[in-house]
């Protein structure tokens, strides 16, 4: 039955494209890039959730639209209207640049237009054949920064102590609560992260603008620019209003051209080939803070750490992996990871299930903006790991501890009393610090879990333990650095993963990619654990500080 359905779809596709070829297509297709984008299409949701929380724009669909334009030989190129509120991580921009680069290889011209370019949007625009700027527009200060706000002194004044333990000083997730300044190890790590991403941006500007690396660095160091200065410095190509793009392209093309927005142009663009319905590639998302239990995606992302944030649980992911394993139509799987970590036990459960799946079917892990700590733990079970050059990954390490609130209770004139049986039954409570004996038990658990994590990397990457230890210890790397150190196999995104699957199987581009569905109850919000509360608190504090390079990943040892 599947072959009959596919045959009908293919015939319909052929007829539809024959009709579309008789229609006039635009010379240029315009895309408006604004706001936030998720990496992938959001999971299917019920009617009420769709009405309350409308799906966000997603890069997956945008890239498919760009590919549709690129595959239509009648279209000359694309115009990217980049709005200043466009919010894409460096890794997301690299995914979009890859798609646009493939369009250029197919002969399409790329025109970028904006009235304000910042570091991220100029990095995107640097791929274009022409960079246009509105009169009175600007190129803002270009460059990268990262920083942290430290709260230890404030917590001390409140009578709160974070009693934390980590494997090495590089595992720095709790430093904001336990330190007053950056340690030398963290400064060193932040510098190598910035160096790697900065080199990517420098290289992109150098190639895109056809200038040397030194000239690209000079251009960055001498920013910001007014529109006139940017034109003079050859940072941009032309200063004009959006309405003047028509006349500008008429002049450069030597004839009158037509421009349509994608939605309007889509009616005449050639349709992509239909996908075969029988076999498919399973897509399993590991997005958000890793928790024990079921995944949740709250309707409202409150700015309160306890209530906000997407979470991914082992019960949900393991169930999806097992479905992919038992379904004969699922010929391979992509594990898409965008997570800075979380629960160690949940990470192990997910990795264990994925490892069993990989024994029967090819499994490729794709890392998005962040796939570190528990996120990287999960990836180690895949047959092949892919990251963007600026993906934040690694952080192979463990951190554990508790909040000690005894002094705060005393300041509030509160007195806590308990009656117990068992010497250490209260060791996780915040009323008292760990005793010497308890501290040793905590460290024993910490290093046991770290040792298991190392073993997973050793097995998954076919490396010696001594080799892994040199790059582990909580050290964070970019995707490019991780590739050089053997922690990932290739650089790219979802399309790179699919090409790898095609090489490993008899599948091809007509094979659909389908997300393993959620169960309804998996959207319920679980009660937060102390670990997840602290993790989310750190994430929100970093956002307040404006640290937009990466969020320090955490792998918690939980009670």
Query: Which residue is listed with tokens 């264990």?
Result: 352
Please give, one letter per residue, the 3-state secondary structure of 338-407. Answer: EECEEEHHHHHHHHHHHHHHHCCCCEEEEEEEEEECHHHHHHCCCCEEEECCCCEEECCCCEEEEEECHH
Residue 28 β-bridge partners: 77, 259
Given the residues 109, 171, 500, 542, the one annotated as active site: 171
Long-range contacts of 15-23 (CB under 8 A, 24+ apart): 16/271, 17/270, 17/271, 20/268, 20/269, 20/270, 20/271, 21/74, 21/270, 23/267, 23/268
| Residue of 6, 10, 8, 3 whose CA lies nearest to 273 | 10
89 is catalytic: no
Do residues 119 and 144 touch, judged by C-beta distance below 8 A?
Answer: yes
Local structure of residue 242 (DSSP, 8 states): G
Going 173 to 178 to 181 to 182, the CA torsion angle's sign is negative
Paired tokens of 397: 């390490």
| Residue of 321, 132, 117, 310 whose CA lies nearest to 219 | 117
Paired tokens of 238: 């032309």
Q: What are phi and psi of 163, to 5 degrees?
A: -95, 95
* CA–CA separation, 432 and 403 (whole Å): 9
CA 150 to chain CA centroid, Å, is 25
For the CA atoms of the chain, what is the radius of gyration? 26
Q: What are phi and psi of 434, to 5 degrees?
A: -65, 140
Query: Which residue is listed with tokens 């974070």?
Result: 162
Do residues 367 and 337 touch, judged by C-beta distance below 8 A?
Answer: yes
Look at the chain and count its residues: 559
Given the residues 172, 373, 395, 552, the one annotated as active site: 373
100 CB-contact burial (10 Å; exposed 0-12 / middle 13-18 / buried 19+): buried
Paired tokens of 289: 């803070």
Expressed in angstroms, the distance from the first to the final Cα of the chain is: 51
* CA–CA separation, 219 and 226 (whole Å): 13
* CA–CA separation, 224 and 499 (whole Å): 40
Paired tokens of 260: 């349509």
Q: Residue 79, CB half-sphere, CA atoms under 13 Å: how many? A: 24
171 is catalytic: yes
- DSSP SS3 for 422: coil
Paired tokens of 384: 């092949």
The catalytic residue positions are: 171, 373
């Amino acid at each position: 039955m599947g072959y009959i359905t596919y045959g009908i779809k293919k015939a319909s596709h052929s007829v539809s494209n024959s009709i579309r070829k008789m229609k006039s297509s635009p010379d240029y297709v315009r895309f408006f890039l604004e706001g936030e984008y998720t990496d992938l299409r959001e999971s299917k949701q019920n009617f009420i959730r769709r009405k309350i929380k409308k799906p966000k724009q997603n890069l997956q669909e945008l890239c498919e639209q760009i590919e549709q334009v690129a595959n239509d030989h009648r279209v000359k190129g694309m115009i990217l209207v980049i709005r200043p509120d466009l919010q894409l991580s460096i890794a997301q921009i690299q995914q979009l640049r890859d798609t646009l680069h493939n369009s250029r290889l197919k002969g399409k011209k790329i025109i970028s237009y904006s009235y304000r370019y910042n570091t991220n949007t100029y990095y995107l625009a640097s791929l274009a054949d022409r960079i246009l700027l509105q009169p009175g527009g600007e190129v803002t200060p270009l460059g990268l920064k990262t920083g942290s706000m430290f709260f230890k002194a404030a917590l001390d004044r409140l009578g709160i102590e974070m009693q934390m333990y980590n494997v090495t000083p590089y595992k720095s997730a709790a430093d904001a609560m336990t330190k007053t300044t950056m340690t030398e190890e963290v400064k060193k790590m932040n510098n190598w992260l910035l160096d790697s991403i900065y080199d990517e941006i420098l290289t992109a500007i150098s190639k895109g603008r056809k200038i040397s690396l030194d000239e690209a660095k000079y251009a960055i160091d001498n920013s910001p620019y007014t529109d006139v200065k940017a034109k003079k410095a050859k940072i941009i190509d032309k200063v004009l209003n959006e309405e003047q793009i028509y006349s500008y392209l008429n002049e450069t093309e030597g004839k009158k051209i037509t421009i349509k927005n994608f939605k309007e142009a889509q009616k005449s663009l050639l349709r992509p080939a239909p996908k075969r319905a029988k076999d498919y590639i399973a897509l399993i998302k590991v997005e958000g803070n890793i928790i024990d239990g079921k995944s949740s995606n709250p309707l409202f992302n409150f700015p309160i750490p306890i209530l906000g944030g997407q979470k991914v649980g082992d019960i949900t992911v393991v169930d999806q992996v097992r479905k992919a394993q038992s379904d004969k139509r699922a010929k391979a799987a992509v594990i898409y990871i965008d997570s800075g970590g979380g629960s160690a036990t949940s990470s192990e459960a997910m990795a264990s299930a994925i490892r069993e799946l990989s024994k029967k079917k090819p499994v490729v892990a794709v890392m998005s903006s962040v796939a570190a700590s528990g996120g990287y733990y999960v990836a180690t079970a895949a047959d092949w790991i892919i990251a963007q050059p600026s993906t934040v990954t690694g952080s192979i390490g463990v951190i554990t501890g508790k909040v000690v609130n005894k002094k705060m209770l005393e300041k509030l004139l509160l007195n806590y009393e308990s009656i117990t049986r068992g010497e250490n039954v209260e060791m996780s409570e915040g009323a008292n610090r760990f005793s010497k004996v308890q501290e040793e038990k905590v460290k024993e658990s910490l290093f046991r879990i770290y040792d298991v994590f190392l073993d997973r990397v050793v097995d998954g990457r076919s490396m010696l333990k001594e080799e892994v230890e040199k790059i582990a210890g909580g050290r964070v790397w970019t995707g490019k650095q991780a590739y050089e150190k053997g922690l990932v196999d290739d650089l790219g995104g979802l399309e790179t993963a699919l090409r790898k699957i095609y090489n490993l199987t008899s599948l091809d581009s007509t094979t659909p990619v389908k997300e393993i569905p959620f169960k309804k109850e998996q959207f319920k919000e679980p009660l937060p654990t102390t670990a997840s509360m602290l993790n989310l608190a750190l994430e929100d504090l970093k956002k307040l500080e404006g640290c937009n390079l990466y969020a320090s990943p955490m792998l918690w040892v939980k009670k």
